[in-house]
Chains A and B, each alone.
Chain A
């Protein structure tokens, strides 16, 4: 069974600071997804990482993937209040039935305070 662990689960950070969210997973996968969820809203796709060493950046967020370590990171640079949300990583893998499925972490609730 594929397990996905995120840490921290809660993160309170000051505006202007940097921080990293970690996503570890238990079995081989070459695809990892990061989503953002605002309170009461749906999930918005942030990044799709498709291979070992993949790095993607959008604004103050940068995601990377190390498939050998089974680790992805989401780095936040100079945080601003608008980044306050819950961030989920999800790992893609084929199930026993042969279908491609996502397994989600529990999410990291980020609060950026002035």
Chain B
């Protein structure tokens, strides 16, 4: 199993540009999450999904959109990039139910800079 994979690893955007951060997991997990991590801070939840076709907002959803058409993929879309979106983005997944205590498994992250 590759686990949770994210692409790209690094990206520099200009203000106003758009991009999609890709996240794929091969563990057949129902739940998937997008977090952002700002320097010296913990992770903040952007969006999450409980299964294909079902998504919901987290703590900091403004400026982002998501979709979940398959169990494996959970892309995060930035429509009009702003400097405030400069951050490291982590995707995570976990299985349904009480398996492993709802532990989440994280991808390697995407480091995004908006100039």
Contacts from A to B (Cβ < 8 Å): 4, 9, 31, 33, 35, 41-45, 48, 50, 88, 90, 92, 97, 99-102, 104-107
Contacts and interface: CB of A to CB of B under 8 A. Distances in A.
B26 interface: no
Given A31-B101, A99-B56, A100-B102, A42 B42 contact: no
Nearest to A43: B106
Interface of B: 31, 33, 40-45, 48, 50, 56, 58, 90, 100-109
B48 A42 contact: no
A45 B42 contact: no
Tell me if A's interface is mostly helix, strand, loop or mixed: strand
A43 B90 contact: yes
A105 B40 CA distance: 10
Given A99-B48, A101-B58, A106-B40, A42 B102 contact: no
Contact of B100 (A44, A48, A90): A48
B40 A48 contact: no
A48 to B, nearest CB: 4
Given A48-B101, A99-B56, A101-B58, A42 B90 contact: yes
